[in-house]
Amino acid sequence: MSGPVVSIDTFGRLLRRTEQALERGELFFPEVTEWDSGRVAVGNALRYFATFERWPDSQQDAVDATGPVVLDVGAGAGRHALHLQASGRIVVPLDIDPVAVEVMRDRGLDAHLGDIVHHVAVAPYDTLIFLGGNGSLLVNAPDALMACARLLRPGGRVIAEVGHQSMAHGGAKVRVRFEEYASPWIEYAAARLDTFRTMVETRSEFRITGWRPYRSTTLVTITRTEAVAHP
Ligand SMILES: C[S@@+](CC[C@H](N)C(=O)[O-])C[C@H]1O[C@@H](n2cnc3c(N)ncnc32)[C@H](O)[C@@H]1O
């Protein structure tokens, strides 16, 4: 029996169909998450289109704490970016999934396709946000932390939401399944949160300035301390 088609736009396809379900007035659209432990979890993908009042406290606090110019890394359908844009911030939503980028553009955002390591900023950002499970993109990739140093102004901040180990269903890697598709596996970051803390503390470019646990996630804030050369 053949396995799923591994595709970078699996999540975007799910978002597109979820948006259609939302337009039909449906209240639930399944998001199927698979763990390498064999466990499968089902959530409501409509949350990726939710407005501020329905976000978890961690995400409300993160977005409230952003500066005037924000990079939203792994922006999905753009729920946080839309709120930031409506509040008068300049926001660049970035995503590696071309269908997610299309969904965001259709919703009125100037979304960029790509990942943080290759992202080129017009001017330094005040804040980089990694929300909705995207702390994994930061905690698991030393290159991503270096990219943050390059993209932030001195005094600028990274705000990342990292899931707790209790949410890992006994697995170390996770991926999204939709129809015949699967996203690439992503390492779940919870187990590395303390390693990440040590890694940041040994770097002169950053200082940890916030470490706030919520029900199922921790919001980590790191501040860029000193000037680094921009190429
Ligand atoms: C679980 S969704 C979260 C979306 C959004 N932050 C939210 O909370 O609504 C994760 C998003 O990160 C994107 N992503 C995964 N790896 C990425 C990478 N290396 N660079 C940029 N985006 C990435 C996925 O395509 C997906 O849209």
User: Of ligand 1's atoms, which has the minimum distance to the CA of residue 9?
Assistant: 25
- H-assigned helices in the chain: 10-23, 57-64, 79-86, 98-106, 135-139, 142-151, 193-201
**H or E element in which residue 154 lies:** strand 152-163
User: Of ligand 1's atoms, which has the minimum distance to the CA of residue 137?
Assistant: 19
Output the CA 115–ligand 1 centroid distance in Å: 9
Contact by Cβ (8 Å): 207, 222: yes
What mean pLDDT comes out for the span 125-154?
95
Paired tokens of 100: 């997610």
Output the CA 74–ligand 1 centroid distance in Å: 3
pLDDT tens track for 76-105: 999 999 999 999 999 999 999 999 999 999
What does the mean pLDDT of the chain come to? 95
The DSSP output letter for 7 is -
Domains and CATH numbers, the chain: 5-224 (3.40.50.150)
- Confidence (pLDDT) at 204: 92
Task: Indicate if the pLDDT at residue 126 is higher than 70.
Answer: yes
What number of CA atoms fall less than 13 Å from residue 90's CA on the CB side? 8
Confidence class for position 226, pLDDT limits 50, 70, 90:
confident
- Confidence (pLDDT) at 44: 98
User: Of ligand 1's atoms, which has the minimum distance to the CA of residue 116?
Assistant: 20
Confidence class for position 227, pLDDT limits 50, 70, 90:
low
Residue with CA closest to ligand 1 atom 13 = 74
pTM, to two decimals: 0.96
- Confidence (pLDDT) at 142: 85
Mean pLDDT lowest for which of 17-31, 194-208, 215-229?
215-229
Residue with CA closest to ligand 1 atom 11 = 74
Output the CA 163–ligand 1 centroid distance in Å: 14
The DSSP output letter for 166 is G
Cβ < 6 Å from ligand 1: which residues?
11, 48, 73-76, 79, 94-97, 100, 115, 131-134, 137
Task: Indicate if the pLDDT at residue 230 is higher than 60.
Answer: no
Task: Indicate if the pLDDT at residue 179 is higher than 90.
Answer: yes
Q: Is 108 helix (H, G, I), strand (E, B) or coil?
A: coil
Contact by Cβ (8 Å): 56, 131: no
Confidence class for position 2, pLDDT limits 50, 70, 90:
confident
C-alpha closest to that of 32 among 180, 196, 222:
180
Q: Which residues of 151-190 are buried (b: 16+ CB within 10 A; e: fewer)?
A: bbbeebbbbbbbbeeeebbebeebbbbbeebbbeeebbbb
